[in-house]
């Protein structure tokens, strides 16, 4: 089958290739890929940024989001059958959605939202799971609380705005002037031009979701009220991440050193910091499908590319200017 494979870590390490169809285990469903979407995580994995923790053996197929049709089921699979239209974010070490087919553990799969096409559904698993796990699982967001979402017009930001609004929060976001109307339509109550200092105009927030890191994360700590939470999807990683991956204890110590500065600053301000590396979860995807079908969430798609232009799609996402998600279509 056709696939895009990481032959070696690095910017130029992704290539089109012919590979064998995946083996289907007893707990797996084999999905014929209709569409996949591109995430910043694809670039990070391709470049080897997590190679000490996620032990991919090159060559391996890249891609973390998928929607498609089930073509075979393992002997222990009871909830899916051939012909089902599904969507998923396959678990780490079993990624590979930039391909004609992928075998996915049944626990990571859900039937796609009925209101979305397969191409639309491919845009949402990773970002919707990340939004849910940040706001519901991690922040325990309550109605009336205040949330700041950075880069609100991006794939993750646009989803977090919608989910936070659905959960009853007051939502602020940073975005460019030309995208201000888009993020307001998604539910943002306050829009701050990303070229301006958001810390000058915002304060008393319960939760900040940061996808930019660095100085932006440090400033984000200052807009939180005492007891507030800063959650970052770009890092620095912390010991909780090492524990999540089941890494050896010394890796947790290293993660503690990497995040020591931001944790120290957070403690001084009476707030908390944590790194979020989203996890696959078919049960949560079923809950999220209901939110899409009820109209509380909708996918924002910037651009689609045919499968043979997967390298161009990844390069486009790397420019950091996409409004919403970039989708790769196979049929």
Beta-bridged to residue 257, according to DSSP, are: none
Per-residue model confidence as pLDDT tens for the chain (331 residues): 999 999 999 999 999 999 999 999 999 999 999 999 999 999 999 999 988 888 899 999 999 999 999 999 999 999 999 999 999 999 999 999 999 999 999 999 999 999 999 999 999 999 999 999 999 999 999 999 999 999 999 999 999 999 999 999 999 999 999 999 999 999 999 999 999 999 999 999 999 999 998 899 999 999 999 999 999 998 888 888 878 877 778 777 888 888 899 999 999 999 999 999 999 999 999 999 999 999 999 999 999 999 999 999 999 999 887 899 999 999 8
pLDDT of residue 113: 98
| DSSP summary character for residue 138 | I
Instruction: Tell me: cis bond preceding 59? Omega within 30 of 0 counts.
Output: yes
**Which are the contacts of 185, defined by CB distance < 8 A and separation ≥ 6?**
none
Beta-bridged to residue 328, according to DSSP, are: 36, 305
Range 301-308 contact pairs with CB under 8 angstroms and sequence separation of 24 or more: 301/119, 301/120, 301/123, 301/325, 301/326, 301/327, 302/326, 303/327, 304/35, 304/119, 304/328, 304/329, 305/329, 307/2, 307/98, 308/16
Q: CA angle 326-285-153, nearest 5°?
A: 35
Q: pTM above 0.85? A: yes
pLDDT of residue 259: 85
CA 174 – CA 143 distance, rounded (Å): 21
pLDDT of residue 320: 82
pLDDT of residue 189: 98
Question: Helices 282-293 and 125-132, interaxial angle, to 10°?
Answer: 100
**133 φ/ψ angles, rounded to the nearest 5 degrees:** -70, -30
Please, what's the largest Cα pairwise distance for the chain?
A: 58
**Which are the contacts of 7, defined by CB distance < 8 A and separation ≥ 6?**
13, 14, 15, 17, 58, 59
Contact 76, 26 (CB under 8 A): yes
pLDDT of residue 58: 94
Question: What stretches of the chain adopt beta strand conformation (E)?
Answer: 2-6, 14-18, 28-38, 60-61, 66-73, 85-88, 101-105, 109-111, 146-149, 170-175, 190-193, 205-210, 224-232, 272-275, 301-306, 325-329
Contact 154, 194 (CB under 8 A): no
CA 276 – CA 292 distance, rounded (Å): 23
């Amino acid at each position: 089958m056709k696939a895009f494979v990481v032959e070696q870590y690095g910017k130029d390490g992704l290539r089109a290739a012919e590979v064998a169809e995946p083996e289907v285990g007893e707990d797996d469903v084999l999905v014929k890929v209709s569409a996949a979407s591109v995430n910043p995580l694809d670039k990070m994995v391709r470049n080897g940024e997590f190679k000490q923790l996620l032990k991919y053996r090159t060559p391996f197929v890249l891609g973390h989001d998928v929607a498609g049709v089930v073509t075979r089921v393992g002997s222990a699979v009871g909830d899916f059958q051939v012909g089902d239209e599904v969507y998923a974010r396959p678990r780490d070490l079993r990624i590979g959605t930039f391909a004609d087919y992928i075998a996915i553990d049944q626990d990571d799969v859900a039937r796609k939202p009925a209101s979305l096409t397969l191409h639309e559904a491919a845009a949402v698993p990773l970002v919707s799971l990340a939004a849910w796990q940040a706001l519901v699982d991690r922040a325990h967001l309550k109605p009336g609380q205040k949330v700041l979402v950075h880069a609100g017009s991006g794939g993750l930001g646009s989803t977090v705005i919608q989910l936070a609004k659905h959960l009853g929060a007051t939502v602020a976001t940073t975005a460019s002037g030309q995208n201000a109307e888009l993020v307001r339509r998604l539910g943002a109550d306050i829009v701050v031009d990303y070229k301006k200092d958001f810390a000058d105009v915002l304060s008393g927030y319960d939760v900040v979701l940061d996808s930019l890191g660095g100085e932006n994360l440090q400033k984000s700590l200052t807009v939180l009220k005492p007891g507030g939470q800063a959650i970052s999807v770009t890092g620095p990683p912390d010991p909780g991440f090492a524990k999540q991956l089941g890494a050896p204890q010394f890796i947790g110590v290293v993660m503690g050193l990497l995040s020591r500065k931001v944790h120290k600053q957070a403690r001084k301000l009476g707030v908390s910091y944590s790194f979020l590396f989203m996890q696959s979860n078919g049960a949560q995807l079923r809950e999220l499908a209901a939110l899409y079908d009820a109209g509380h969430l909708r996918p924002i798609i910037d651009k689609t590319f045919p499968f043979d232009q997967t390298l161009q799609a990844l390069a486009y996402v790397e420019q950091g200017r996409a409004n919403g998600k970039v989708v790769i279509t196979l049929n």
